[in-house]
Amino acid sequence: MHMITAVIRPHKYDDLREALLQLGVEGITVTQVKGFGRQRGQTEFYRGAEYTTTEVPKLRLEIAVSSAIMNQVIDTIQSVASTGKVGDGKLFVHTLDQVVRIRTGEKDELAIG
């Protein structure tokens, strides 16, 4: 099992959500965040506004996935969230030791989806 943390452009969320549901992703945690990448100090556009500060609004997605669909999830995030312009975001893959569904006590593959 893996936890994928993805930082994406907010306007890409709806399309990505649909694509991930199609793959069998059973849950996503979404947080509004601000950040910067390697163009820090340069400008980026968000909803038509130019950001001259270094931190630009993004969404952070946390998605726990079984190994069976991990590669498809990674490829889908990369392709759906891409515009080809700087600031498209990044994803990070962490190994996930354990998952517990709090209501039932189910663990790991039974709890992930």
Ligand X SMILES: Nc1ncnc2c1ncn2[C@@H]1O[C@H](COP(=O)(O)OP(=O)(O)OP(=O)(O)O)[C@@H](O)[C@H]1O
What would the x/- binding string for ligand X be over residues 58 to 77, using CB under 6 A? x-------------------
Q: Which of 22, 29, 31, 39 binds Mg ion (CB under 5 A)?
A: 39
Helix H or strand E segment including 49? strand 49-51
Compute the distance between CA of residue 21 and CA of residue 9 in angstroms, rounded to an integer. Answer: 18
Beta carbons within 10 angstroms of residue 51's beta carbon:
17
Count Cα neighbours of 18 within 13 Å in the Cβ-side half-sphere: 4
Put the strands of the sheet holding 2-8 in their side by side order: 29-35, 56-65, 2-8, 89-95
Q: Decide if residue 113 touches Mg ion (CB under 5 A).
A: no
Q: Decide if residue 16 touches ligand X (CB under 6 A).
A: no
Q: Decide if residue 90 touches ligand X (CB under 6 A).
A: yes
Least separation in angstroms between CB 14 and ligand X: 19
Polymer length of the chain: 113
Least separation in angstroms between CB 94 and Mg ion: 22
Q: Decide if residue 86 touches ligand X (CB under 6 A).
A: yes
Are 31 and 96 within 8 A, CB to CB? no
Q: Decide if residue 87 touches ligand X (CB under 6 A).
A: yes
| Binding interface with ligand X (CB under 6 A) | 7, 35-39, 56, 58, 86-90
Where do contacts with Mg ion occur on this chain (CB under 5 A)? 37, 39, 86-87
